[in-house]
Amino acid sequence: MANIAVIGTNYVGLVTAACLADLGNCVIGVDIDARKIEQLARGQLPIFEPGLEEIVARNLRAARLRFTTSYADALACAEFAFVCVGTPSGAEGEVDMRQVRSAAEGLGRHARKYCELVVVNKSTMPIGTGDWMLPALQRTAGGSGARFQVVSNPEFLREGSAVNDFRHPDRVVLGGADAQALERVASLYRDLSPEPRIIRTDVRTAEMIKYASNAFLATKISYINEIASICERVGADVTEVARGMGLDRRIGSEFLEAGVGYGGSCFPKDVKALAHMASMAGAHPQLLRTVMEINRDMRRLALQKVRAELGSLEEQSIGVLGLAFKPNTDDLRESPAIEIIHLLEAEGAEVKAYDPAAMLAAAAVLPAVELCPDAYAVAEGADALMLLTQWTEFRRLDMCRIRQSMRCPVLLDGRNFYDPREMVALGFRYHAIGRSSQPGCGQGSGTIGSQSADEQDADALRRDRTPVAV
Backbone angles phi, psi at 402, to 5 degrees: -55, -50
In a domain, 253, yes or no: no
| Residue that is last in its domain, among 163, 183, 201 | 201
What does the H/E/C string look like for 379-392? HCCCCEEEECCCCH
In a domain, 258, yes or no: no
In a domain, 348, yes or no: yes
In a domain, 21, yes or no: yes
| Residue that is last in its domain, among 148, 168, 201 | 201
Same domain, 311 and 175: no
Same domain, 160 and 24: yes
* Host domain of residue 383: 302-447
| Residue that is last in its domain, among 153, 176, 201 | 201
Same domain, 181 and 36: yes
Backbone angles phi, psi at 106, to 5 degrees: -65, -40
In a domain, 295, yes or no: no
CA distances from 63 to 19, 43, 392 (A): 14, 12, 36
Give the tens place of pLDDT for each residue, 200-253: 999 999 999 999 999 999 999 999 999 999 999 999 999 999 999 999 999 999
pLDDT for the residue 215 = 98
CA distances from 335 to 41, 209, 261, 349 (A): 30, 25, 9, 19
- Low-confidence stretches of the chain (pLDDT < 70) are 437-470
pLDDT for the residue 193 = 85
Count of the separate structural domains present in the chain = 2
Same domain, 192 and 306: no
Q: What is the CATH number of the domain that holds 369?
A: 3.40.50.720
Give the tens place of pLDDT for each residue, 377-399: 999 999 999 999 999 999 999 99
| First and final C-alpha spacing in the chain | 50
pLDDT for the residue 437 = 57
Same domain, 51 and 169: yes
Q: Whole-structure pTM over 0.85, yes or no?
A: yes
pLDDT for the residue 451 = 43
449: exposed, middle or buried (C-beta count within 10 Å: 0-12, 13-18, 19+)?
exposed
Would you tell me the crossing angle of helices 11-22 and 52-61 to the nearest 10 degrees? Answer: 50
In a domain, 454, yes or no: no
89: exposed, middle or buried (C-beta count within 10 Å: 0-12, 13-18, 19+)?
middle
| Amino acid residing at 379 | A
pLDDT for the residue 65 = 98
| Amino acid residing at 269 | K
In a domain, 223, yes or no: no
Same domain, 56 and 196: yes
In a domain, 214, yes or no: no
Catalytic residues: 266
